Amino acid sequence: MALDFANEDGDAVDGTKEANALLEKLQIEEYKMYSTISTLAQQQIQGMDVYAQRQAALGDYVSNVATTLFENKSLMQFGTIDSVRTSFVEEAVTEFRRVSKEERSVFDKTKKKSVDDTEIAAQQPKQTPARRRYILATILLAIKGDHTSGPFKYGVDSKRDFGRALSRIATDAQVEGCLIGSEMLWKPHELKFDRGDGAYSLLSESDVLKAFPDLTFLS
């Protein structure tokens, strides 16, 4: 999903304060994986008590992120939801790792562009009109059973739909025995300032759509 920091009229604004507040509330770092799916799956197979504890902590973490994004659904400009069903945990682990690798690769490609934008912005006069800027967020989940398996099989086309999906994730992620693993990808993981002149590393709309062509506009 892509969160757009603009005013109610859709005009570009310096969303630094709002973006910083959102990132601080989420308290997640770029590419931070709370607990690896392979470790969780192995603990489950071995029947280790720590599995239940880590699974509960992971569920709380996912629920917190989904809830925070839900509370900011008005900022969502683009989004997409996709899911794959597998018959066995091992297949789910393989698919999770494949998608995770792909997503990380895309996020890596946006990093240099973001840094370059920050350097350019630092050289521009303060009165230069602000461009629309975005924060990217991806939630990867591995779920047992039907919980959070994609409540909209035909996708989403509105902020309301996406909000309902996030609400369901926030609730079902805490169902006992439901969540196997999850990974959160976030860009940027922090807003980088230079000499206090307001330069920051949010992405432009063209950056977002080029990196994630499957994103659709949310009405």
What H or E segment, with its residue span, contains residue 165?
helix 159-172
Q: Please indicate, yes or no, if residue 131 is contained in any of the structural domains.
A: no
Q: Please indicate, yes or no, if residue 54 is contained in any of the structural domains.
A: yes
Rounded Cα distance between 123 and 198, Å, is: 11
Domains identified in the chain, total number: 1
pTM, to two decimals: 0.69
Of residues 116 and 49, more confidently modeled: 49
Q: Please indicate, yes or no, if residue 46 is contained in any of the structural domains.
A: yes
pLDDT tens digits along 10-64? 454 456 666 667 766 665 443 333 344 444 444 454 554 666 666 777 777 788 8
When pLDDT is cut at 50, 70 and 90, the band that residue 2 belongs to is confident
Of residues 68 and 198, more confidently modeled: 68
Q: Please indicate, yes or no, if residue 132 is contained in any of the structural domains.
A: no
Q: Please indicate, yes or no, if residue 8 is contained in any of the structural domains.
A: yes
Q: Please indicate, yes or no, if residue 130 is contained in any of the structural domains.
A: no
Structural domain of 38: 2-125+137-217
Rounded Cα distance between 219 and 214, Å, is: 16
Q: What per-residue confidence (pLDDT) applies to 177?
A: 73
